[in-house]
Amino acid sequence: MRMALIEIVGALIKDIAMDEETQVDAHKKENRINALFDLLFERTLDLNSYVRAKVLNTFSRLCDLPVKFPKQRHEITKHVVAMLQDKSSSVRRYAIALLTKLILTHPFGLLHGGPLNLTEWEGRYDAVAKELKEMEKTLGMGEMPDPEGTQAEKEETEKQGEGDEEEESEDDEADEDDADAAEVAEAMEEDEEDEEPAERPQPKKEKTSKKARPSLPVDLANVTDEQVLAAFDAEKHVKLKLIKKYVADALAFIRQVEGASETLSQLLVSTSKAEVLESMEFFKTAHEYEMECAEIGITKMIHLIWTKDNSATSTEDGKELKGIRSKLVEVYRLLYFDPLPDLEPKQQVNRIAKNMIERTYGATLAELTSLEELMRSLMVDGQIHTDVINKLWHVYSVEREIPRCQRRGAIIILGMISLAKPEVVSERLETLLKVGLGRFGKADLVLARYTCIALQRLGGSTKKVKGSLTDKSIRFPMEHPLFRKLQDAIENPSHSMDWFGMAEQAVNTIYLLGEQPDSLCTTLLRNFTVRAFTPKSKTATQDATNGSNAMDEDAKEPEAEDGPRTPPSPGKTEATEQPNEQVDLGDSFNLSQLLFLVGHVAIKHIVYLELVERDLKRRKDEGAKEKQAKNAGKAAIEELDQIVGNAEDDIGDHIADVREREMLYGANSILGTFGPMIVHDPTLRNAATLALSKLMCVSSRFCEENLLLLFKIFETSKDPNIRGNIVIALGDIAVCFNNMIDENSDNLYRGLTDKDLNVKKNTLMVLTHLILNGMIKVKGQLGEMAKCLEDEDPRIADLAKLFFTELSTKDNAIYNNLPDVISHLSVGEHAVDEETFQSTMKYIFTFIEKEKQAESIVEKLCQRFRLTEEPRQWQDIAFCLSLLPFKSERSMKKLIEGLPFYQDKLHNEVVYTRFSEILAKARSNKSTNKPDSELKEFEAILQEHRDKGAEDQALEKTMKKKADQAKKRATRRGARRQRAATPDDEGED
């Protein structure tokens, strides 16, 4: 019924607003429209979500009318922004769609066009206000009333809107102002339809009445020039006032929409597909209208490329919804990669290449990874033209000086595209070696780093199949010029912190593309060892220090004022200039470089050994099959399988022995030389910790010998970078030797309480990976993970929610550990406050969906009552019981059977309230045709024990009070006797 009435109200508003034939007073007409809108605004608070959604649909249809309802638009926008946080998913979806419609149909495009850029509109407001103030000063008008209120109101959108409405109702001059505003707009935009920028919705009739007003005869002969100028100035003054009010209304609308951007960004990761799609459409529209909030949403949106669900679905109202991934690709194509109809082909190519490069500016590692997947998808679908690729190569290889971020962005995009088509890189190999590993690469190590990443695409991007012996990767002989260039890039003297990122990717490239990468890496380690330990004169060391500072300064190339900002490298540590007084910087930095190479070569050599093992198995398998090819009998086939299996076991054992005994403990092992090294310099300490961690992944013996040392460094180090790196390294060690980490998992969980945000985040991500993949067992520490659900930082909380969501898919994982989580958070040194406990448990209990699990939890929680003595524990257990659904009679039966365990706790008001909530929930789930006698009897028993407990508590307090009084009287009597006995004792003396 209410939905039908809302439909009728919307139709009435449309008929009244569009009716120009009926002669109705404009004031009465406006009052009728206002009254009908008030009815709709009231229904935005309706208890039924369908009614609230119907109101939004009605508003959306009204926005399509030629009449813009400027006065009501402010209220509509305010209600829509509030409804973005509605508890109903359908209401939120319609609210997002309506907000998009409000942008598309906004009435502020008459004077300055359609864009809604906040900075530009604020500049217009300041310019108009300044001009108006100067005119008022010239005309000697003094302080004039401000149509939109004070400057403070300008900054606060809602106050400004209220000030506008109050100003309008002050006198009848507002009606004339609205008509004049319409005249100003029409004079500047003749081809526009009849839209009004002011807040009165009837400019036509008011304008007609105003034109009919001048009926008195004017004596033109007696009109002086001063009177003409005065009349012109007065008219201009009125127009300026109206324009100022017009701009202020636009600012109010823009600020309302900008204020909703944070909520809309959160809805991009909603579990509702319709909400996500509508949010994406909103940010696309906001970007087209140049709103400042659009960039945040567009950037965050790119992570949706990993969404698995890409199938089209239908909504309740029959509307077909695209897949989220398809919608994302469509949005990015429309905004950045599709050609515009009014540009020349060359301009089209330049625009698309520029947009691609700008996507990399300021991007984080996660954003670059998502962008890589997007570019790969576009290339697979053939949506990137060859001319665009050629333009990117031109930007990358141009000889003249350009902003470094442009050259970097070009090679980043080219590396992403080559994932789908390796020929993009392989056909320009000489260009990569000349630019990225040549003069430009040596001057810009970040460019060299991304060039190495692009070179890695030469090996192909075929995913390895688990258990398969085939290897389709492409490798080059070590005499290839590529490896000479990589060696030169690594060995090129540098004291920039960017060297570490470049060297990491260079070593990755060597191991990925080289036929014998160990030979080249051995040469690198020997050369860096000589460089690090060769004695240097003070002058040479000073020159090295000065050279490092010069290189750092060169890396910070000044860009043009209007140029884009340089994107920071993901995971890059800012290089700090070292003072020239530290003459030992060169040696310590060289040693840091050496240790970094030692660690990274060790970890990459493990992967290389796995490839060698697979290749040996493949050769053995092929040889054995050829040898037995002539034997076609079944027995021969079985014998062949047995021979191949034994051969594979022998090869695996041999490779494992090489890894365990030879790499670090062999007589000729160059890596083993650096194991016992001790360092003190901060940069050295960081590099040495990384090297130690990577070496521990090689040998279980070496890991066992140094694991406690690594944990000690993790516990005592004051450098958060070191602690964060150790956490990640512990995850790698757990993959290699999970038993060692499983036995010491308590030390790993300590990172969840670290004060540094990055350390905490790294710990949470590592534990998530290890627990979900079964590499470590949960031994009661799940409560520490649960604490992160209520972390102050939203990123930590979101990661924790993701962890528990994935953990719920494992068989009974949350159910089995739930009692330990409750105990961990309720009592002991790890306990949290009551509010945090309740919000955490509310989230975790949403994963208890099976009725049998709920029944078992009821029984376990009831038994816990008898083991507790603190009221806080009673309250926590009762709260957890109240979170269960109690959909079956068996759950209530378990609760009633557990009455002896908690009957003496019912005098606690909070505990009794929780059981009352359980009763109410059980009644709501009970069938109407079944008697309610059992629940009523249980309720009476609860009340009886509550009253009895209250009496017992009162009696206990009374007895305790009397005992205290008796004790005090006994103490006083003893004191009097002692005083009385004292004189007698003195007399006897």
Give the pLDDT confidence of 765-784 residue by residue, as tens digits: 999 998 888 888 877 778 88
Is the model more confident about 214 or about 843? 843
Is the entire prediction scored with pTM above 0.85?
Answer: no
Is the model more confident about 556 or about 846? 846
What are φ and ψ of residue 387, in 5° steps?
Answer: -65, -35
Convert 380-441 into a string of H (helix), E (strand) and C (coil): HCCCCCHHHHHHHHHHHHCCCCCCHHHHHHHHHHHHHHCCCCCHHHHCCHHHHHHHCCCHHH
What is the pLDDT at residue 984? 53
Mean pLDDT on 134-154: 55
Q: How confident is the model at residue 220 (pLDDT cuts 50, 70, 90)?
A: very low
Q: How far is CA 601 from CA 22, 464, 604, 693, in A?
A: 87, 22, 5, 12
Q: How confident is the model at residue 555 (pLDDT cuts 50, 70, 90)?
A: very low
What is the pLDDT at residue 349? 93
Beta pairing partners, 585: none
CB neighbour list of residue 342: distance below 8 Å, 6 or more residues apart: none
Q: How confident is the model over 490-516, as pLDDT tens digits?
A: 999 988 899 999 999 999 999 999 988
Does the structure show a pLDDT above 60 at 183? no
Does the structure show a pLDDT above 80 at 194? no
Beta pairing partners, 314: 320
Cβ atoms 33, 18 nearer than 8 A: no
What is the pLDDT at residue 186? 41
Q: How confident is the model at residue 616 (pLDDT cuts 50, 70, 90)?
A: confident
Task: Estimate the crossing angle of helix 498-513 against helix 585-627, to 10 degrees.
Answer: 20
Task: Estimate the crossing angle of helix 89-104 against helix 70-83, to 10 degrees.
Answer: 150
Q: How confident is the model over 305-329, as pLDDT tens digits?
A: 988 877 776 666 666 777 888 999 9
Does the structure show a pLDDT above 70 at 195? no
Does the structure show a pLDDT above 60 at 679? no
Beta pairing partners, 476: 514
CA atoms within 13 A on the CB side of 917: 14
Tokens standing for residue 519: 């030979």
Does the structure show a pLDDT above 50 at 552? no
Range with the lowest mean pLDDT among 296-310, 521-535, 551-565, 770-784? 551-565
Is the model more confident about 581 or about 435? 435
CB neighbour list of residue 386: distance below 8 Å, 6 or more residues apart: none
Mean pLDDT on 665-688: 66
Does the structure show a pLDDT above 90 at 827? no
Q: How confident is the model at residue 598 (pLDDT cuts 50, 70, 90)?
A: confident
What is the pLDDT at residue 680? 53
Fill in the DSSP letter of residue 476. B
Does the structure show a pLDDT above 60 at 705? yes
Does the structure show a pLDDT above 80 at 569? no
Mean pLDDT on 940-963: 74
Range with the lowest mean pLDDT among 335-349, 458-472, 730-744? 458-472
Distance (Å, whole) CA 454 – CA 425? 7
CB neighbour list of residue 520: distance below 8 Å, 6 or more residues apart: 478, 483, 486, 487, 510, 514
Does the structure show a pLDDT above 60 at 467? no
Cβ atoms 399, 431 nearer than 8 A: no
Handedness of CA 301, 305, 311, 312 (dihedral sign): positive
Is the model more confident about 790 or about 627? 790
Handedness of CA 214, 216, 220, 224 (dihedral sign): negative
Range with the lowest mean pLDDT among 16-20, 319-323, 979-983? 979-983
Residue 511 CB coordination number (10 Å): 21
Q: Three-state DSSP class for 292?
A: coil
Mean pLDDT highest for which of 308-322, 406-420, 448-462? Answer: 406-420
Mean pLDDT on 324-343: 89
- In this structure, the chain runs to a length of 989
Task: Estimate the crossing angle of helix 517-533 against helix 481-491, to 10 degrees.
Answer: 20
Does the structure show a pLDDT above 50 at 812? yes
Is the model more confident about 986 or about 80? 80
Mean pLDDT on 646-673: 67
Q: How far is CA 727 from CA 690, 713, 717, 730, 762, in A?
A: 11, 11, 12, 5, 7
What is the pLDDT at residue 302? 92
What is the pLDDT at residue 953? 67
Convert 673-721 into a string of H (helix), E (strand) and C (coil): HHCCCCCCCHHHHHHHHHHHHHHHCCCHHHHHHHHHHHHHHHHHCCCHH
DSSP states of 785-816: HHHGGG-SSHHHHHHHHHHHHHHTTSTTHHHH
Does the structure show a pLDDT above 80 at 106? yes
What is the pLDDT at residue 539? 46
Mean pLDDT highest for which of 468-472, 970-974, 978-982? Answer: 970-974
Does the structure show a pLDDT above 80 at 53? yes
Does the structure show a pLDDT above 70 at 164? no
Cβ atoms 454, 425 nearer than 8 A: yes
Range with the lowest mean pLDDT among 119-133, 584-598, 700-714? 584-598
Is the model more confident about 154 or about 573? 154
Residue type, 163: G
Q: How confident is the model over 853-895, as pLDDT tens digits?
A: 888 888 888 888 888 888 888 889 999 988 888 888 888 888 8
Cβ atoms 515, 476 nearer than 8 A: yes
Distance (Å, whole) CA 24 – CA 18? 12
Is the model more confident about 17 or about 392? 392
Mean pLDDT on 445-450: 94
Cα 330 to chain centroid distance, Å, stands at: 22
What is the pLDDT at residue 647? 57
Distance (Å, whole) CA 574 – CA 583? 21
What is the pLDDT at residue 371? 94
Beta pairing partners, 320: 314
What is the pLDDT at residue 713? 87
Tokens standing for residue 577: 């200039």
Range with the lowest mean pLDDT among 73-82, 549-558, 683-692? 549-558
Beta pairing partners, 321: 313
What is the pLDDT at residue 962? 74
Distance (Å, whole) CA 864 – CA 859? 9
Name the one residue in this structure whose structure tokens are 């206990």: 956
What is the pLDDT at residue 355? 93
Does the structure show a pLDDT above 80 at 682? no
Q: How confident is the model over 831-864, as pLDDT tens digits?
A: 888 889 999 999 999 888 888 888 888 888 888 8
Q: Which helix (H) or strand (E) holds 313?
A: strand 313-314
Does the structure show a pLDDT above 90 at 580? no
Q: Three-state DSSP class for 514?
A: strand
Does the structure show a pLDDT above 70 at 670? no
Name the one residue in this structure whose structure tokens are 């070593």: 507
Average pLDDT, the chain: 78
